[in-house]
């Protein structure tokens, strides 16, 4: 048995969905809830999207605390099972801590403006028009693909490897793998290239070719930057997040299970 979590001040946040709001009312007396800015940990009611929203809010506010999710959404990959019965405080005390390091995107647009955003799941480059995108791909300063003709390309963390990356036929990465998935989206050329698995210390950059004819947008989770000239990506270890999971329902177990799903 690992050391139990001991949080004296807990916050409760819920999505606007009816199920999440109902659960928030049911849990009103489960703890002496405090505002998020005063809490040592936060209980998140909703789905994966709302969990990502909450984590990004903490990153933006530069005050990151552990998050324990209860699934009131659809998939709930980042969440724990919601149960009406059982002591929530005991579940949180026994929860396993999982560290999740986000990606940092530095995107430069055609007018020279620089935009910096974090992504917990993935950063995607996507064509803006019917024209196929053409992108130069470099890893650690070395050009690996001179011209990738595609609908787009993405770089995913282990936590995000079962999201958009999996839909684009990218690999599922174990949470402790210290790897990143570099995955093309509908690639046309090179025809046989299906992506790469990279150490998470890698620095990946994309340069948009023929941007006037083939404009490209960059998306860091839910934040979009259009008319991209180039993008530089790397893991942001200084902004590490902590997710809390019930024993037997940890994120790394879910990643393994997903590979055997029918």
Q: Per-residue pLDDT for 243 more than 80?
A: yes
Please tell me the pTM assigned to this model. Answer: 0.84
Q: Which residues are annotated as a binding site for NAD(+)?
A: 48-49, 53, 121-122, 151, 159, 162-167
Tens digits of residue pLDDT in 50-82: 999 999 999 988 899 999 999 998 878 889 999
225: phi then psi, degrees, rounded to nearest 5: -125, 125
pLDDT value for 85: 67
* Residue-range domain boundaries for the chain: 10-101+240-258, 103-237
Q: Which residues are annotated as a binding site?
A: 48-49, 53, 121-122, 151, 159, 162-167
Instruction: Select from 3.30.950.10, 2.60.200.30, 3.40.50.620, 2.40.10.10 the CATH code of 103-237.
Output: 2.60.200.30
Q: Per-residue pLDDT for 232 more than 60?
A: yes
Query: Are the C-beta atoms of residues 208 and 135 closer than 8 Å to each other?
Result: yes
pLDDT value for 242: 94
Closest of 17, 88, 77 to residue 46, by C-alpha: 17
Report, as an integer, the average pLDDT of 36-62: 93
Tens digits of residue pLDDT in 250-260: 566 666 777 77
Query: Are the C-beta atoms of residues 121 and 156 closer than 8 Å to each other?
Result: yes
pLDDT value for 41: 97
- What mean pLDDT value characterizes the chain? 92
Task: Say whether 160 sits in a helix, a strand or coil.
Answer: coil
Query: Are the C-beta atoms of residues 95 and 88 closer than 8 Å to each other?
Result: no
Other Cβ atoms closer than 10 A to 49: 16
Catalytic residue among 48, 200, 221, 236: 48
Q: Does domain 10-101+240-258 have CATH number 3.40.50.10330?
A: yes
Query: Is 246 one of the annotated active-site residues of the chain?
Result: no
pLDDT value for 125: 98
Report, as an integer, the average pLDDT of 205-232: 96
């Amino acid at each position: 048995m690992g050391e139990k979590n001991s949080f004296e001040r807990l916050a409760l946040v819920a999505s606007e969905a009816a199920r999440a709001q109902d659960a928030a009312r049911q849990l009103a007396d489960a703890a002496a809830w405090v505002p998020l800015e005063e809490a040592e940990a936060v209980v998140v009611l909703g789905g994966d999207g709302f969990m990502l929203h909450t984590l990004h809010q903490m990153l933006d506010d530069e005050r990151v605390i552990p998050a324990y999710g209860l699934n009131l959404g659809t998939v709930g990959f980042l969440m724990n099972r919601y149960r009406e019965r059982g002591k929530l405080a005991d579940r949180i005390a026994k929860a396993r801590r999982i560290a999740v390091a986000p990606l940092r995107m530095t995107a430069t647009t055609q007018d020279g403006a620089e935009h910096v955003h974090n992504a917990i799941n993935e950063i995607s480059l996507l064509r803006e028009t019917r024209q196929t995108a053409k992108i130069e791909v470099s890893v650690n300063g070395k050009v690996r693909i001179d011209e990738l003709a595609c609908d787009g390309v993405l770089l995913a963390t282990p936590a995000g490897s079962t999201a958009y990356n999996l839909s684009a036929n990218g690999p599922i990465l174990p949470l402790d793998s210290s790897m990143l998935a570099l995955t093309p989206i509908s690639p046309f050329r090179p025809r046989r290239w299906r992506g790469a698995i990279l150490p998470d210390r890698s620095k990946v950059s994309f340069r948009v070719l023929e941007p006037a004819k083939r404009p490209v947008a960059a998306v860091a989770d839910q934040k979009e930057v259009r008319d991209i000239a180039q993008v530089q990506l790397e893991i942001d270890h200084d902004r590490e997040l902590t997710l809390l999971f019930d024993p037997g329902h940890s994120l790394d177990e879910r990643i393994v299970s997903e590979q055997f799903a029918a």
